[in-house]
Amino acid sequence: MIKASDFEGYVTHFPMEIQKQLRVLQKLVKETAPQAVEGISYGMPAYKLNGKPLVYFAAQKKHFGFYATPSAHAVFETELAGYKKGKGSVQFPFDEKLPLGLIKKMVSYKVRELSN
């Protein structure tokens, strides 16, 4: 597990190309959920809304892990069908383009879910 106290400390552990993609994910989350609070949880970038987990993401050995909790993964099950998944996680391989539109929809869904 990477020991970092903030996003910048986390990102510096990775090669430049991975850093760029992590920054793209950070920007997407911040633009989609500007009221979310950024931090580090479970050793990865984490975003909370109203004190509740919104999304997490991390760079792994060969993929980006994206964690929007089981509720969002269930709603977008069809769109996530081509990716390796866990109960509340999905893996986006480094050798494929990040599905930014889908990720944005998932973050937007979580914002609506946590704002009710």
Mind listing the domains of the chain with CATH numbers? 7-115 (3.90.1150.200)
Q: Is the confidence at residue 1, as pLDDT, over 90?
A: no
Closest CA to 32 of 89, 116, 91, 112: 112
Per-residue model confidence as pLDDT tens digits over 54-94: 999 999 999 999 999 888 989 999 999 999 998 889 999 99
Q: Is the confidence at residue 5, as pLDDT, over 80?
A: yes
pTM over 0.85: yes
pLDDT at res. 116? 75
pLDDT at res. 80? 95
Q: How far is CA 22 from CA 7, 25, 74, 77, in A?
A: 9, 5, 24, 23
Closest CA to 88 of 102, 73, 76: 73
* 111/8 Cα distance (integer angstroms): 24
Residue 9's contacts (CB-CB under 8 Å, 6 or more residues apart) are: 40
Kindly state the average pLDDT of the residues 2-9. 91
Closest CA to 22 of 55, 58, 47: 58
Of the chain, the percentage scoring pLDDT greater than 90 comes to 88
